Each structure stands twice: as structure tokens, then as C-alpha cells.
Amino acid sequence: MTQSLTQILPRALLTAVVISGVACTTQTKDYTEVTMQASAFEGGAGLNLQSLNSTKAILENRLADLDIEPSEVEIIEPNKILVRLPQTADAAATQALLTSTGQLYLRQQKADTKADLTKGIEELQRLLVAQNTLLQTNQQAEAEALQPQIDRTRALIGDLFEPSQLNSEMLASEMPVEAKAVAGADSHTWDVKIWLNAQGADILADKTKALAGTDRAIGIFLDEVLLSAPLVDAAFAKTGITGGEALIAGSFTREAANILAVQLSNGALPVRLEKVESN
């Protein structure tokens, strides 16, 4: 059984970034420039040329894997990343891809929080549907006004789960792919399959063994956003889920599943990227 946030990924990743200036034109291509400010994570690798170069490489790989070409990624001073995108690219989806850190976490649900989790997910779904309706009717300001409430609801949901010991760094880098979009069971939605390394597989087995047959879920998070919260069947009470394979079933669209798989396969950004003011 899975509690899922239907098509939550596209809205979850819609972090605002500014498009600096108007569309620019080279001799052969039209493009849009997106400028982002980089900052260090607390306890992270720090903000330096190495971390900025790593960020540049990850963004280039994300764009290439989604066939967003021609595109360019450039480090500019002070501590900014400039991306040039073809105007044919989906602006919202691409900007979300650029600014999302892309860190995966698997977290145990805390005891005695079943009712709170159900209530939180229902409230979040209500808010996301309302926001999407406003966006579809060109009520941008009203849709943006809902974002603080959406963020608070997501934070409350996150508080219902224990901190994570299992994250994207434990994806199996020796595999041909570490994450892959796959068709869902109902043929109308898409899931994302991930492969964990040996350390990650052991942690997954231990966590799912402890949760098997209980009413506590294992929360699958991208950054701070809950993607799905499956319950672990009692059949896994002796061994947990072994083998290091897991399925993120979030009722994704094919596009959203591909974006998530690309993010996970290319690793999390070592720095935070935030919007800057329009030039």
C-alpha cells in the first residue's frame, strides 16, 4: 500500500529562478539566459571553484540527459551560474531541474503519527490542486500566494519522519544507471526505480525490517519534499527488503519521472542555487 502525492513532482520542483533580461539571439540560435546565485550548504563542501565546477558538470549532464540542447552552463562572478537555454525548452520544467538540489532521502515515519500524516497529505493535495487550478486560469499572483502555506504543510509532513541515514550518495554508481523511469502498474502513470550500493542496501533492509507489518511508512523524499510513503508488508518482517532495489511510486507523469531519474543518476548539487534579481 502506498500513500502517494499525485503528480507532486512538477510542482515540488517549481523553485523560482529569474530569467535575466529578454530573449537573446546569436547568429544561429535563440536562447534564454537563467542566472542563479550559489551558496554553501551548512556542513557541506563549501563554496569554492571545485564545488562550482562540480555544480556546472552536474547541470550540463542533467540538460544533456533530457536532450535540452543546445545549452551552455558558465560560472560567472561572484559565485553565480549562468545557463543559456534554447527557447524551445519547457521553461518551468527546465528551471526546476536547474535549481533543485536533487538529494534523495529514505526516512522512517515516527510512531503514532498515522493520523497526522494522512491529514497532512490530504491538506497538501488540496493546496496543490488549488494552486494548479489558479495557474491554469492565469491567476499567477493568487497561485504564488499559496506557496508559503504549501511550504509550511510540507515542513509539517517532514517533521513526522526520522532523520535519514540513507541518501543519494548510496545509489549504486557501479550500475549502468542508478535510477530509471519505468511505466507504472496502471499503464497511465510512471514510477522511478533506483538501485542502491551495498551500504545503502543494508540500511534499506534494516529500516524496512523494523517497519514491516506496522502502520509506519518509509518516506521517500527529494530534498525536503515527500514523494511517496509506502507501507512495508509483514512478509518482510524477518529480512526486510533485500537486494538494494526500490521503486518510487508517486503517480508521476512520464516527464516528471524522467526528470527525477536524471536528477538521481547525476547526483545532488554540492551547492545551493537560488534566484537572483532580473537584470
Show me where the domains of the chain are located.
24-102+270-275, 111-160
| Cell numbers that stand for 4 in this block | 502517494
> Alpha-carbon distance 240 to 238, whole Å?
6
Domain 24-102+270-275, architecture per CATH: 2-Layer Sandwich (3.30)
Give the position of cell 500566494. Answer: 145
Helix, strand, coil distribution of the chain in percent, nearest 5: 40, 30, 35
Contact 179, 260 (CB under 8 A): yes
| Residue 171: predicted pLDDT | 59
| Residue 267: predicted pLDDT | 85
| Residue 278: predicted pLDDT | 39
Contact 71, 82 (CB under 8 A): no
| Cell numbers that stand for 214 in this block | 506496522
The answer for residues whose C-beta is within 8 angstroms of residue 10's C-beta and 6 or more apart is: 92, 93, 96, 253, 255, 256
Q: What is the 3-state secondary structure (H, E, C) of 155-205?
A: HHHHCCECCCCEEHHHECCCCCCCEEEEECCCCCCEEEEEEECHHHHHHHH
| Residue 254: predicted pLDDT | 87
- The tens-digit pLDDT sequence of the chain (279 residues) is 444 333 333 333 333 233 333 344 444 457 788 899 999 887 776 899 999 999 999 999 999 998 988 899 999 988 999 999 888 887 667 877 888 888 888 899 999 999 999 999 999 999 999 999 998 998 989 999 999 999 999 999 999 999 887 666 665 555 444 778 888 777 788 989 888 888 888 888 998 999 999 989 999 888 889 988 999 999 999 999 998 888 888 778 888 888 889 988 888 899 999 877 434
Determine the 3-state secondary structure of 249 from DSSP: strand
| Residue 168: predicted pLDDT | 62
